[in-house]
Structure 1
């Protein structure tokens, strides 16, 4: 019996929904050729798939849809949205959705009871837009928390690029683009170790942010992801391959003895990283944001996670920048939590710069 690869564990595509006239795009042909046995079903648009989105019954098939279903569409709106935390700009998405099943993920909140990968096939248009946009920015006038020298573009806001790279060459094309731009770099957070990315040529101009949390919490809420210890070990490999590698401590989930768990994790990181990885290390700290709608969805497929995520006695409602009502830790207590964790970081990983914490 052969060994199951990461890709085979995450993806066994049986159905590909696609927009009309998708075959005019070479990237669509590449993807369809990669998965020749999957049934092809034409749909009006990637956002209008009867029986998939908006079907509450699909909650019972949450993970099956992620493994078996792929959607191909054309990204119509090409804009680079200004950002101020992890990146200077949010690049136009080349995907949304994910084959992994993190129970706190915000993307399903807008999709309606199913969240498989949607891959956008007009990659040439997206690359051209990004190159022109970066060209218009010129040199970065002064350092900021995103980067001291380059404009930073987040290329994975609505998915996980390490997973997307198993579907198509979109991620490879983005890494190659930013590898030759003189004033900009790409950035994405990931919870999967995809060793195929080590064969790319990032030239120091793609920042991979490995998302980490204590293993006990991860085992409950980070479903279908790479184990935390393997993500930590991968930092050294990706630095050696020419990537800039940061850590994304996210989401930070408050529970009894949470700081003890974080102390153990930080000791594990310190013991694993090489001097080269430590010299270039920085991190971001993001405390949990949850949502009542997602809470209800999760109760339908993974209620145990909600025992950790849904803590009304610790949380309060707050309207997000997009206008949604979310729940976050109460602001007065959250200030204390942030101070406790950043102090722990300074003691355990003094070489790791905290780019921001909220």
Structure 2
């Protein structure tokens, strides 16, 4: 992957990964910063620079390791080796937290983070599932850091419970031969191809994503799909019916036999509208005042009647097209 510059905490070069990144991107400008959390130069840039800001790589040390209980596909959300992303999905929930500074930040202290996670798993009263990809896309990150090549076999050997992460990318070939012992749950996020092209900017196409989950399942990884986020834009019913038909036709029998679905309706925000209008003026406006209502702190979600209609439609179409596939939740 190509970047314009690297902003780094000097102490990050004391870690193995920090040294590897310095060598890998040694031809780029390396600009020292006091903290990956606060880069004044970035914070002062206008919203119109959002896309350009994502061409910088931030390298630091993760200092907070708070585990958040979760009761969906995992037991805990775990801060792990990165946050932010190089892609520019117009609805990205990380923008709600980081505003225009939702660029990719890499944390070099992976040994410390994985050690804590393994310890937490051993101390749990029963085997737990840890979500390690809630702040970034680890398949994308792995292209830069190789962190999944480090994490998966080490957790397979020493960890108790399971790890899981979602992705919108198809670069899974390096993971196929890893020793995982069924302890890694792979989840692919999908949307209609029209929405991927217009709204999930910089991510893999639908056919490539389907191919990737087929490969991972064949390699023995437990697999699921996220239909997320469901966007109730013009023609959404036809688009999601088309998506389900492509999944039914493109997924292997092995995937369809053991997979599960997660379905998440889109949450949007005032911050998204401000950034997208300036950084992507030709992009569609995902805010719909007729279908959406406030959700606190400048966020919007679909109104209850719209959500109910979407859930009923999706459950019916999934049943009609894909049969009795397990739906973990619709939120």
Cα deviation for residue 336 of structure 1 reads 2.0
User: Is 2:309 aligned against 1:336?
Assistant: yes
* Distance (whole Å) between structure 2 residues aligned to residue 39 and residue 111 of structure 1: 24
Partners of 2:198 and 2:31 in 1: CA distance? 34
Q: 1:25 aligns with which of 9, 15, 33?
A: 15
Map of 2:51 onto structure 1:
63
Query: Which of 112, 120, 124 does residue 137 from structure 1 map onto?
Result: 124
Contact 1:295 1:310 in 2 (8 A): yes
Do 2:214 and 2:251's aligned partners in 1 also have CA atoms closer than 8 Å? yes
The separation in 2 between residues aligned to 1:295 and 1:336, in whole angstroms, is 25
Which of 233, 238, 254 pairs up with 1:260? Answer: 238
Q: How does 1:86-165 map to 2 (within 5 A)?
A: 86-140=73-127, 151-165=128-142
> 1:181 deviation in Å?
4.8
Q: C-alpha distance in 2, partners of 1:220/1:295? A: 16
Distance 1:181 1:313 in 2: 51
Tell me, which stretches of 5 or more residues in structure 2 are unaligned? none
SS of structure 1 residue aligned to 2:41 = coil
- Report the CA distance shift for 1:182/1:279 in structure 2 as closer, same or farther (over 3 A): farther
Paired position in structure 2 for 1:196? 174
Residue of structure 2 in register with 1:7 after alignment: none
**TM-score, normalising length: structure 2:** 0.95
Q: Which runs of 4+ in 1 moved over 6 A?
A: none
Calculate the aligned-residue CA RMSD, in Å: 1.6
Residue ranges of structure 1 left out of the alignment (5+ in a row) = 1-10, 141-150
- What does the per-residue CA deviation read over 1:180-212, in whole Å, with 9 as the maximum and x for residues that have no partner? 356411111111101323243322221121111
Match of 2:250 in 1: 272
Matched, 1:173 2:146: no
Give the 3 Å change call, closer, same or farther, for CA 93–343 of structure 1 in structure 2: same
Number of aligned pairs?
330
Matched, 1:346 2:319: yes
Question: Which SS does the other structure have where 1:300 is aligned?
Answer: helix
What TM-score do the two structures reach when normalised by structure 1?
Answer: 0.88
Counterpart-to-counterpart distance in 2, 1:282 and 1:190: 15
